[in-house]
Structure 1
């Protein structure tokens, strides 16, 4: 069911409910009036008969004329109304009723039955007939339910027809009003379907209705964020592929230029050594020393290559010693122009190997950015473990007092300087990243992520 028909149906149900409530109020009002008429009739007849007993007691009337029912019949009874005089044993003494006019006020049987269920039976009202605490009988006034139902039907029947016409007109008017009010939803659904199919060019126009226009603003902002995120992901994928190829070329070059050549030279030297042994053993010392130097150089080149692929000290020594060594290396390279410091708290060594590698790479990239772009005097690394209501978390911050990188003029975001790669690593850690200029000057990188998360391979 569409929203338009749902609203029309609910408004129609509300109108019908109001009509039904009005009918119940009308029935209750007619019943209350009938009950009041019964009470007045019973009270008047009881008072008249009590007065006759007083006259009999004072010899102004004779007992055999009691009850003087001619006086009672002088009262104007309503259609369907009866008045009875009952003896003390409950047997009927006198009665008088007014007929029901079913011709001028006809009412359907279902309405009479419904009225009986709602308003009750004959609306019986009883008043005693007594004098000086001597009860002679009781006066009972009743109403025929069919008569009251006919009066009620006569009251509400015209309203039913008019209300049915009014509800029909209301449904038609409501349908067109709601259809016009919900026309923007057609545009919204079309843009959402296009977005679901991957069309990031979807944009919503401005609308007059404030609430719907707010939906348009939020939708356009979400599309812009999604487009920017998709662009960054595509750029990151491109960079990752390029970096992979560069890494492969670097490894191939290192293996070819360093290890392969030196292994060839080592092989040649070994051949020379073999030949020299055959002729003159005194030449062995020089060739042996050269062989030792070449092997040492080969090991150094191999160690650099392995460090480029993955710092071995993270697994051998731990995260904190590796970070301290990284900060010390930057201090050595800065030669006093920039002071790098690190502060840690908590047991961050409990992180798994992949997460430690992510943390190391994030800090390494942040320090690299600070060294290249910050022009700072002080760069501070903070790594803390803390606990809040969400559980244990790791907080990482790298701040400097330099000028900081300038935001990209087109995207209005810090998309360069390795931040895209850091965002992907933080995303892999199920964390959050904030990067930008600080109020007091300089640039700050702040990262938070759960300490129990399992990162992907670095």
Structure 2
């Protein structure tokens, strides 16, 4: 059975045309066979009519001349004028006796049809049937003029005609299919452009548009496609603008929270440490048993200060403008290694110079790395995280320099669509928006059974035009 799923539309339509053409050929062949049988029947009936009229005239002549010795029936004159190959003519008396009979010879130049065709033809048309006409004299039937044809003759003629039709069909059908296929290929050629446009839209190229087509149906599809592309581009632009504003608000809140923690909570912890030191001096002179409590208060305040420094470092990164991207990332990795005590282990490799990088690019790349390391350490349960930062120079043939950022870990790959941490502003969506603001590309792949890879490519020339999303305060 033919499998229609995934087959070429042109081939499917061509096959349907071939099937319809075959059915039409079968109907036409049947019509011609019926008409041929009807023509043969009409010819036999005409011969029988002529024979009956001739015999009636002969009988009337005998009676009028009162010549009993005249021969009757005499079918020689009729047979000489109407006899054809395979045709038989006879006179049958009322008693059923055949008084005279003439039969034409069979054709010798026609090939014998196959037995199956002969059997089918005789079953459908019954060419052996006789045509009988009564011979009447003075109002009384004196016999019958009988005409029939040898069934082999019309069967052979039908097979010969069917063979010619079949030959014509075998030549015409491939030509018809080839012409239909070529016409369909030409008519459906714009579908390639539609497919290419859809692929470009799927790849993120929202500037893809379709030209007008000759066919009205395809032009309507092109118009709808262009409208959808425009609306999708507008909706995506609005979403990107909103997301970037949210990122700005988020970063501003981070800076505000870091400032509040540093000014209020930090000063309070410093005051607690100072009071603990003062209380320890007093206790050393007046109440030695309180020395342990004073030392405990001081240690607790010191631990809280360390925790506060780590939180402030995550909320407000160091000034990337002053330290540079490379030094800031090295400090970030060192901080993670210090806090994690080797589990997981963070490694960093930097190649190329980033000293002249635009400040907005440095700040956004720092945030991307910060969020990626946080996800790998806290949500993926990675034991090893590899960070590689490379300044890829422009190729000799032309093009722009690009910053390539790669982060690989061996943690359990979470579902970016299902993990709320990855979908939040601190996760993959925030990274994508930051990369989009720089005119770059981001890809995230998960391995089996574990591990994940984050790749970011930012063209340096394009990033110079990007609006800054964050400047470290």
TM-score by length of 1: 0.47
TM-score by length of 2: 0.46
